[in-house]
Chain A
């Protein structure tokens, strides 16, 4: 039905949709976990915070699991290079993420104060570490990753764990933390009342400003670091072989797409506008709109990274010709087509039933709610 070139573009978009899904849905859970020790002063308040996402975090996290699966299916080489190259960073993320199911489910099953405060710490780690590392990973993708391929397509990673933690990547990490914490604060403001809600409002203000400042700073920085471009002819419908092209690496090349299509500048601009709007809406107590606006900010920030790099997925910083792009790191035409149909059938279905579940569980989580459900609430 679709030709190979179109399907590759569609799958680049789907991947974007899934990543945005991760940031919007799982993002507020992570952000709320980061806020947990700061906004919850008593055990009951912390339980209010935890229960604001207690019944839905699991479905939210599935966006992440599915994005991983879709990356594997649609761009297997990208999945292989990223996961094996960032080995220790991902191990750390994995260990942090494991704290979440246990933290949510086990924390309030026992009354012991020490038991609960340890799980609170675990939940914080489970929110903060993944949020940071997702950003660090993006920061490294923008700079290029030191890997090369041999003729059998075996992957060799030539960097170290510590080289991932360079200044630009750390700045991206902070951007990600600020962005998801803002999002968490907006959601929490929507689901709570009284003092916690007021604290949320301040957090929204603080983290949105932080996010926008870092976003601007990162933008200026990206304009000056080495970007990548394909200089040889590349067939958009050839079998995926990342060894068949010539790549150039020069400072400022990431601005190339904006020079060619000036309208793209709307994408980051929208991010700034939506960010400011989030603060205003949160102040005026239009909380559902604030959540939409915050989601829009996230969408713009992620898309900004995406359109700056297109068609690159993972630039190779040393053997630059081995860079992985949309045109030469995808699955076969057949697999992309099959997965396209599976996605267009199931993704809308998922959105429908997820919305229904959120509607059923909507409403404020209050201190009384926790008192009345002492034995069943998280």
Chain B
């Protein structure tokens, strides 16, 4: 049995490194498309200013991209380094989308990104445009495959447990790709990325306009960002991730926890807008409920119920008991007694094997669990409501504020009246919101899946590698130290180039060059 502190430290490390990685990913996802749009406009209109826009926002894209690449490598290493039992147990399934991501997406993105930066004089205009689109396409394709992998962790379809190899194996690969949890996740995540990039361009352009600099450049950038951002922000909200939460029991538990839905209500369920959930009493104090809304969001119907936590807990008590039987039968099979009866019996119970493994937290042998331990395991299978309830509301709140600003910005831009101080200030100060929404969103998705790494299949506490505490102290402090340093350097460079603005292109036609009287080069 591995120690609880090793598991906790491994979880902290994975959470910290993946949330950190995702500071850079959404901007890459969205900005690559914005660059492609700007460059397409350059080719359609033939106006140099759109080329300048592509190159300047491209510079900021590059600064962000470098850290995305650096911290992305960590993710691929960490599955094996810190979660080796997970990697063995589900590698047959989970490894495939990661490998496909490399072959299909990373190569495309990484090979052409160099040409994007250094190919301006070596390619025709059309060739360069194609290169830019390929980069955008590659980054988004990589999001697709990583979310197929993550979607499978939330709703593990198309695979089956094999007692001979003691792991999950692929049975229907198409189910894996067309997993509804993965599809919804992909759309939601890339749209969040587009929103992030739009908010980034919108905010910085607003800053230039507020300072009365580079008006033509800023206004054009602002308009493109406003349109792109509005479309993206609407998609994020309409195609919310929770619409995929009806597939899979753990997804249902997650949805119930987010909404503090303690008991199943007659459909369509009401939405608890705000309140103070209390997990021990299983009730929400001062709840303000809006009738019908949750049922509509969660099930897209008015007659399907949303299962409450009490009912889920009730089911899970039975599943833990079945899982105990499955685990016992598995031990018999592993010792070589493969009678057809044992195999048949095992197949009957094996979908609950994961629930049986939850008992490993309380008893090494599992099969000797007492009623009290079974109750503990069942309780443990329910996610913690309070953190999920609040982070979800922070995310949604950020989303609606951004939507408001984007609508306003879009209207003002189309009336050619975006240079109003209040709007520009709102555009500038909302810049942190997409990042807050992205990070809280991932927290909801991953913390809401606990106690599992693979929903209903493999508990988190069994997934970790058998490392020592010292291994973890060394790696965790290394990550914290290096990542902090990197962030300081990145922000320093980013702010420097944002302040310089398009003058950093040395084209001789922007604010600081004109102010200092620099000639055309």
Contacts and interface: CB of A to CB of B under 8 A. Distances in A.
Given A94-B73, A241-B165, A361-B122, A87 B107 contact: no
Interface residues of B, number: 75
Interface string A286-297: 000000000000
Contacts of A95: 478, 482
A54 B114 CA distance: 8
Interface in A318-369: 331-332, 334-335, 338-339, 342-343, 346-347, 350, 353-354, 357, 360-361
Contact of B79 (A72, A332, A338, A353): A72
Contacts of B496: 110
A335 B475 contact: no
A310 interface: no
A236 interface: no
Contacts of A159: none
Contacts of A58: 69, 110-111, 113-114
A102 B67 contact: yes
A94 B110 contact: no
| Chain A at the B interface: SS class | helix
A87 B98 CA distance: 21
A56 B506 CA distance: 25
B167 interface: yes
Contacts of B67: 101-102
Interface stretch (A31-39, A146-154, A195-203, A220-228): A146-154
Contact of A73 (B98, B104, B489, B497): B98
B123 interface: yes
Interface stretch (A62-70, A180-188, A204-212): A62-70
Contact of A70 (B63, B99, B122): B99
A350 B103 contact: yes
B171 interface: yes
Range class of the A interface residue count:
35 or more
Contact of A338 (B106, B166, B170): B170
A101 B66 contact: yes
B162 interface: yes
A354 B111 contact: yes
A233 B102 CA distance: 36
Interface stretch (B84-92, B247-255, B300-308, B430-438): B84-92
A361 B101 CA distance: 26
A68 to B, nearest CB: 5
Interface of B: 62-63, 65-67, 69-71, 73-74, 76-77, 79-82, 84-85, 87-89, 91-96, 98-104, 106-108, 110-115, 117-120, 122-123, 162, 164-167, 169-171, 173, 334, 465-467, 471, 474-475, 478, 482, 486, 489, 493, 496-497, 504-506
29 contacts: A54-B118, A55-B115, A61-B110, A62-B102, A62-B106, A68-B77, A72-B87, A73-B95, A76-B87, A79-B80, A87-B81, A87-B475, A95-B478, A101-B65, A102-B489, A105-B62, A105-B65, A106-B489, A153-B85, A155-B466, A157-B466, A332-B170, A334-B173, A339-B96, A339-B100, A342-B100, A342-B103, A354-B107, A361-B114
7 shortest interchain CB distances as A-B pairs: A76-B91, A83-B80, A66-B102, A73-B95, A59-B111, A55-B114, A72-B95
